[in-house]
């Protein structure tokens, strides 16, 4: 049976906090596209995207060691 997907911050493919890589893994898209989207969003919303990133960093749990294997 398929296990339900869990939104977790990435431990392996992280550049800063692992939020974008975790979102990319959850939605099955390229992490670079999510990072670029966050950057564009941050610039065009006067850095509200950075605040959103920080909130997501605090709210989304990190992957456990077993998830990275």
Asked whether residue 7 is assigned to any structural domain, the reply reads no
Asked whether residue 9 is assigned to any structural domain, the reply reads no
Is the entire prediction scored with pTM above 0.75? yes
Asked whether residue 57 is assigned to any structural domain, the reply reads yes
pLDDT at 45: 92
Distance CA 48, CA 29 (A): 23
Residues with Cβ within 8 Å of residue 16, at least 6 apart in sequence: 53
Note down the domain range covering 51.
19-62
- Tens of pLDDT along the chain (69 residues)? 678 888 999 988 888 899 999 999 999 999 999 999 999 998 999 888 889 999 999 999 998 765 655
Asked whether residue 23 is assigned to any structural domain, the reply reads yes
């Amino acid at each position: 049976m398929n296990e339900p997907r869990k939104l977790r911050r990435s431990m392996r493919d992280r550049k800063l906090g692992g939020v974008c890589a975790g979102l990319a893994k959850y939605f099955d898209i390229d992490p670079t596209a999510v990072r670029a989207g966050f950057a564009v969003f941050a610039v065009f919303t006067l850095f509200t995207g950075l605040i959103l990133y920080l909130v997501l960093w605090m709210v989304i749990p990190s992957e456990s060691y077993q998830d990275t294997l």
